[in-house]
Amino acid sequence: MNPGEMTIKEVKEFLLTCENLSEEAQALFAADMRSGVQAAFKQWHRRMEKTQQLYQRWLDMSKHEQELWKKGYAYIAGVDEVGRGPLAGPVVTAAVILPQDFYLPGLNDSKKVPAARREEMYEQIMKQAVAVSVALSDAALIDEINIFQATLRAMQIAVQNLSVAPDITLNDAVTIPKVSVEQRPIIGGDGKSISIAAASIIAKVERDRMMKEYDVQYPGYGFASNMGYGTAEHLAALRALGPCQIHRRSFGGVLVP
């Protein structure tokens, strides 16, 4: 393959879909002095660098899983929560068991993934995961037993409801009570483990969808945009309307004077 025998349009079309070039081929493109070829080759090179960075990030984030798979742990459940901080709505937890050949470039803590990409990742995880379970604790339970205990209870239910029993769980920072399998808490786990990151994506998308439904049921608070967090708009609505059924009355800021 010689770029010198190709038109600039052909070069652009070729590089747009090309995933691998030998060193010899790269040298030929680099030597072609046509500005259009140089621009297309530089764009291809940047794309390959980005692909390599994502792959390296994936390797770094799958170290816990790789170590455990090598030791014979076939089913590793990542466990995470979303929604501990908001003034309204449930805390949602997810447990996810990924297959050993799973690869999803860019998977990360859900807070660091754009909303549209989270939705795409959600669909891919749901389609390919060995097992997924979601559980929640609502505002009433949060007020009754506090947010931390309510989170742990939802995590416990999520793990117990998995259709495939895990050999071990990787949890974002906590140890879950009343779970009989081995556990490994990882501080900042949603950015250090692909399994926990996958659980973070599932929990975030599920909770966001719930809050958009609550926005229709309880209009005026802006739940579809603030997801129950204490934004200026939300606090102003609380002052004007008072709390609704899904507000956490034990949280400061809900019963605004």
Whether 215 has a binding-site annotation, put simply, is: no
In the chain, which ranges are E strands? 76-82, 91-97, 131-137, 168-172, 182-186
Confirm if 134 and 203 have CB atoms less than 8 A apart: yes
Q: What angle do the packed helices 35-61 and 8-17 form, to 10 degrees?
A: 0
3-class DSSP assignment, residue 60: helix
Report d(CA 10, CA 216) in Å as an integer.
51
67 CB contacts (<8 Å, ≥6 apart)?
none
Whether 138 has a binding-site annotation, put simply, is: no
Whether 80 has a binding-site annotation, put simply, is: yes
Q: How would you class 37 by CB atoms within 10 Å of its CB: exposed for 0-12, middle for 13-18, buried for 19 or more?
A: buried
Amino acid in position 162? L
233 CB contacts (<8 Å, ≥6 apart)?
222, 225, 226
Binding-site residues from annotation: 80-81, 172
Binding-site residues from annotation for a divalent metal cation: 80-81, 172
